A and B are shown apart, each in its own frame.
Chain A
Amino acid sequence: MQIALTNKNISKHTLTILLMLGLFSVLFLSSLAIGSVTVSPFDIVLVFAQKLGIVSGIDEMKELVLINIRLPRLLLTVSVGAALGISGAALQGLFRNPLVEPGIIGVSSGAALGAIFVIMFMGTVAPALLEVSRTFIMPLFAFLGGGLATVFTLKLSKFEGKTQITYLILAGVAITSLAGAAIGLAIFYADDAQLRSYTFWTLGDLSSATWEKLNILLPLIGIACTGLITMSRSLNAIALGESEAFHSGVSVEKVKLLTVLFSAMAVGVSVAFTGIIGFVGLVVPHIIRISFTSDHTLVLPCSAIGGACLLLLADIFARTIVIPAELPIGVVTAVIGTPFFIYLLISSKKKRLI
């Protein structure tokens, strides 16, 4: 009886993750196939087979589209979606507040400040560097801005040697408004081209993916996501309160610091390469909690997969609805996600779960 019960639980856990992975695979393959050049699933297999040297003579154009354009873009989409989803889930758990989104620790606004700094000055200081700046200098500054903002937020929230969550939220608000003011000032002096450049950056952009960027982004997001998943059990305990978690044997300070740093890393890298994509980090964890469970050992991995799924789906719409142009990804994410979220909200109210 005991063993049967346990097996049932294990399979429930595994089943949920398998279900999410199934959904993910379908979306991933569809996304690989759909676009202005249609590539059939069979072609996809052939192209990969050719890469492995099994077959040859495949349409070069299809290979080019698949390997150099679509695959990097999809990997960027998947990793950014996963990063935003899992950071949102982890920070909501840490702050014991379902309204938290990853930007609360100041990382997004710091990154935005870094980005506008590059947009404003790079053109005048070193026009020759402009092309390089699009690829690497802007992400670098965005990442530095996000990192600095998080470090300041953490410093400000230290009180009697402990990170106080209330101060952390307030410090995040303060850093965000400070960065907001600086951005406002920059916008005031910006010309039309710079303004447009910045506006599009804030709406998120997945189209600029290259393998060079992925070489930087994938390992960093991979480390951050793995790090966050190891926090799952501690976050379950922290859901009861910091004292309760400490009494149960959790090293609360360590968990707080690592969760904030890993989240900042995941979100910082994402924002740096794609701009600000809202909504995913706030809502995906809720969708997972309402649909499955609040157990962080499941919520964290599922929010990563769920974030990837939502962003994949949004990306398919973003680049097919107005071919050959593209809608900003942030807009589509909200348009797809919100109705689903509202539906879940109404149905969960009936069950009195929130």
Chain B
Amino acid sequence: MFTIDNISKSIGRKTILRNCSLQIEPGKFTAVVGPNGAGKTTLLKILSGETKKFAGEVKLNGKNISNFKNHELSKLRAILPQHTVVNFPFTIEQVIEIGRYAFKDSSAAKEEVIDKAIALTGLEKYKGRHYQTLSGGEKQRVQMARVIAQLLHNSPDPKYLLLDEPTSSLDLAQQHALLALAKKQCNRHIGVLAILHDLNLAIQYADDILFLKEGQTVAYGACNEVATTDVIEETFSHPVKLIEDNGQLIIVPKSILNIQTKNLNTISYGQFS
């Protein structure tokens, strides 16, 4: 269990996070949503161990996060960034291998893990390709393979995968492919937390959801319970309408709805994302 208990963080006089609590459970997908400047990135930096000064307590598998050594931490949690620029011509295998930095693999074992990560992310046909020659979606998939490789080891302790707005530069199909891949990791005793910009993506994939606004929790709980019109409108300060389609919730921002109410059925998904 990754437990965040009552954390607050301010920079100067500005409060970035106030009394924020949540739990990432192994096998569950938790989404964090909120408008720009809500403190999502700060929350992730505290969880990753990058930001060390904050009030409150963060415990990873029962142990205070500040008591972990850097290499111990990297075996328990991995972070997928928004996008990663590599300035040198690395092959995809070389990029994925960086996920194994903290491990003392033999080269045979390393090869095996990299192959497995490639298989898990469906990158077989890109073997040997240079990272720089890939498209945005393919690059993100390689990064996903890297963080999966980082968590590929037999340890009785639960592991965690943190995603920082991983879909922001991807197209529709790629967004879903990536989140499906992240969701699949829950089956391997991994707890997943994703900061997401797209509310519809969040409610489709998340088990739990945290709504953040100006550093404070608006609502937190099981997605199907807390994702209500009120909570969403309060969080984003924008009127929305929730529509149910075959048991799947769709969030439609209202001002657009007003213009095109009658044509709702013909509106494609992409216009909202």
Q: Which residues of A contact B (CB under 8 A)?
A: 2-3, 5-6, 9-10, 93, 96-98, 233-234, 236-237, 239-241, 243-251, 289, 293-295, 352-354
Contact = CB atoms under 8 A, between A and B. Distances in A.
B210 to A, nearest CB: 21
Interface residues of B, number: 35
B94 A249 contact: no
B102 A98 contact: no
Given A6-B108, A10-B107, A241-B84, 18 more contacts: A2-B111, A6-B111, A9-B111, A93-B88, A96-B87, A237-B101, A239-B86, A239-B88, A240-B95, A243-B81, A247-B48, A248-B98, A248-B102, A249-B71, A249-B75, A251-B70, A294-B90, A352-B133
Given A97-B87, A248-B98, A289-B88, A2 B112 contact: yes
B18 to A, nearest CB: 22
Contacts of A247: 48, 50, 74, 77-79
B152 interface: no
Interface string B94-119: 11011101100001100110000000
Contacts of A295: 90, 94
Interface of B: 48-50, 70-71, 73-75, 77-79, 81, 84-91, 94-95, 97-99, 101-102, 107-108, 111-112, 130, 132-133, 150
Given A5-B111, A246-B50, A289-B88, A294 B74 contact: no
Contacts of B108: 2-3, 6
A243 B50 contact: yes
Nearest to A96: B87
B182 to A, nearest CB: 16
B84 A6 contact: no
Contacts of B70: 246, 249-251
A201 B50 CA distance: 46
Contacts of B112: 2
A98 B111 contact: no
A169 to B, nearest CB: 14
B75 A239 contact: no
Top 6 A-B pairs ranked by shortest CB distance? A249-B74, A249-B102, A294-B88, A249-B71, A248-B101, A247-B79
Contacts of A250: 70, 101
Contacts, number: 89
Residue in B77, B97, B101 whose Cβ sees the most chain A Cβ within 10 Å? B101
A250 B88 CA distance: 19
Nearest to A13: B107
Interface centre among A96, A236, A246, A248 (most CB of B within 10 A): A248
A235 B29 CA distance: 33
Contacts of B88: 93, 96, 98, 239, 289, 294
Nearest to A250: B101
Nearest to A252: B70
24 contacts: A9-B111, A93-B88, A98-B87, A236-B101, A239-B88, A240-B86, A240-B95, A243-B48, A243-B50, A245-B101, A246-B48, A246-B50, A248-B98, A248-B150, A249-B74, A249-B75, A249-B101, A249-B102, A250-B70, A251-B70, A289-B88, A289-B89, A293-B91, A294-B94
A354 B132 CA distance: 9
Contacts of B130: 353
A3 B115 CA distance: 13
B87 A6 contact: no
A214 B155 CA distance: 52
A331 to B, nearest CB: 30
Nearest to A92: B88
A244 B107 contact: no
Contacts of B102: 248-249
Contacts of B98: 236-237, 240, 244-245, 248
A335 to B, nearest CB: 27
B216 to A, nearest CB: 26
A194 B89 CA distance: 46
A10 B111 CA distance: 11
